[in-house]
Structure 1
């Protein structure tokens, strides 16, 4: 794998009292949040392509975010956002593709036409997948979200040249893993539901993902995640 094994010393998140880093000073910056799954996609991409020295992390505290971020950096006031070549770009899936095509490192999207086509299908399904599972947290959990994980199990059987969605590791895996990571933890804790039971390909995929340093270094703290999701979902029931 392309990512270095050395664990990065991560800068502390910036809160409302933090000064704004210089804008458009020639440094490429990824405005992120260590616990945000959307931002995690771009963080993994950066790591996998070996861009730790080329793209500087600027983590934000989203519960106490600096006013300058919305006012001067990114009016949408969301993460992730990338500062590159005198402009600010947002939206996590767009940024995975942008970083892949504008920076050095191993390509994250295959040239094979069949894999390209299937990759686009999976790419377009991701929002529906996320919505189904999040909705299930407020309802009956496993009964409602089971089919979404069955869809992933089926998709993981499409190509046999590797355990990933397109056989070999790609941007599709990066798109899904931050959410599967969180869903696995929360469904196990809140509903005693194992998303990998009866889904051997999904289990193998998660196992292989956990071997990739670029991803391992971005994983969220399970206790914090359960606490956050409990507040967000179970409190509304």
Structure 2
């Protein structure tokens, strides 16, 4: 390992953030020791604002005196900067496809998923329809595979992490059912197997604690979701 790769690693993150989990999970898959610095997103620290002055969001990876922002970019950086099992495929086409599906998750799934959970009425019905159409595409990607990349957890699995523990907890809080055994059996199985992985589980928030965290923020989430609806 190069001296640069051996520099101290920290993750500025939030306990209940699936995007922070992406960064931690990438480091754990590579076997990289790191320190987690938990951020209060209601009272953002100078550390966060200094190292991510553009978006002011978690996660931020600190590698020595370098800062890397945005979870998908952090995952790629970790894969390239450290030795260990590959997170992205070696084949150029498979690598491109992994990037495509990770962007699909962020661009086409995250917001409809969020709005399907925290809105109501006709607007909610539309978002439920939209996210289920996207889930059907992800379901097809799991045909004949344990994980999105094959037999081992990889880039797309980390990108999709919010559809593991977070989805189930949000379903319990809101009473909205998005992923069932009848409709999306592969995605449901994937969610269980992803969370059960030893390395992933080591940085996955405890379900009961996550339930308490998100329940406490329910009114805020609903207000935020309402503010995003078309006027």
TM-score range (shorter-chain normalised) is 0.7 to 0.9
Aligned-residue RMSD, C-alpha? 2.3
Q: Report if aligned partners of 2:26, 2:79 keep a CA contact under 8 Å in 1.
A: yes
Report the TM-score, using the length of structure 1 for normalisation. Answer: 0.76
Q: For residues 11-90 of structure 1, what are the structure 2 equivalents within 5 Å?
A: 27-52=8-33, 55-70=34-49, 72-76=50-54, 77-90=56-69
1:14-62 C-alpha deviation (Å, 9 max, x unpaired): xxxxxxxxxxxx532221122222111001111121112xx22222222
Describe the shift of the 1:132–1:228 C-alpha distance in structure 2 as closer, same or farther (beyond 3 A).
same
Residue of structure 2 aligned with 1:111, choices 73, 90, 93: 90
Unaligned ranges ≥5, structure 1: 1-25
Unaligned ranges ≥5, structure 2: 1-6, 227-231
Q: Partner residue of 1:166? A: 149
Q: Partner residue of 2:159? A: 175
Describe the shift of the 1:69–1:224 C-alpha distance in structure 2 as closer, same or farther (beyond 3 A).
closer
Quick check: 1:203 aligned with 2:188? yes
Q: Partner residue of 2:198? A: 213
- Measure, in 1, the Cα distance between the counterparts of 2:176 and 2:157: 25
Quick check: 1:187 aligned with 2:167? no
Aligned-pair CA distance for 1:98 = 0.2
Q: Report if aligned partners of 1:45, 1:174 keep a CA contact under 8 Å in 2.
A: yes
- Measure, in 1, the Cα distance between the counterparts of 2:100 and 2:51: 33
Quick check: 1:123 aligned with 2:102? yes
Q: Partner residue of 2:229? A: none
Q: Partner residue of 1:147? A: 133
Secondary structure of the corresponding residue to residue 58 of structure 1: strand
Q: Report if aligned partners of 2:25, 2:158 keep a CA contact under 8 Å in 1.
A: yes
Q: Report if aligned partners of 1:47, 1:214 keep a CA contact under 8 Å in 2.
A: yes
Q: Report if aligned partners of 1:37, 1:179 keep a CA contact under 8 Å in 2.
A: no
Secondary structure of the corresponding residue to residue 160 of structure 2: helix
Describe the shift of the 1:33–1:143 C-alpha distance in structure 2 as closer, same or farther (beyond 3 A).
same
Q: Report if aligned partners of 1:33, 1:39 keep a CA contact under 8 Å in 2.
A: yes
Higher helix share: 2
- Measure, in 1, the Cα distance between the counterparts of 2:93 and 2:51: 39
- Measure, in 2, the Cα distance between the counterparts of 1:236 and 1:144: 16
Say which is worse superposed, 146-155 or 96-105, in terms of deviation: 146-155
Report the TM-score, using the length of structure 2 for normalisation. Answer: 0.78
Quick check: 1:225 aligned with 2:214? yes
- Measure, in 1, the Cα distance between the counterparts of 2:174 and 2:84: 39
- Measure, in 2, the Cα distance between the counterparts of 1:45 and 1:228: 27
Q: Report the number of matched residues.
A: 206
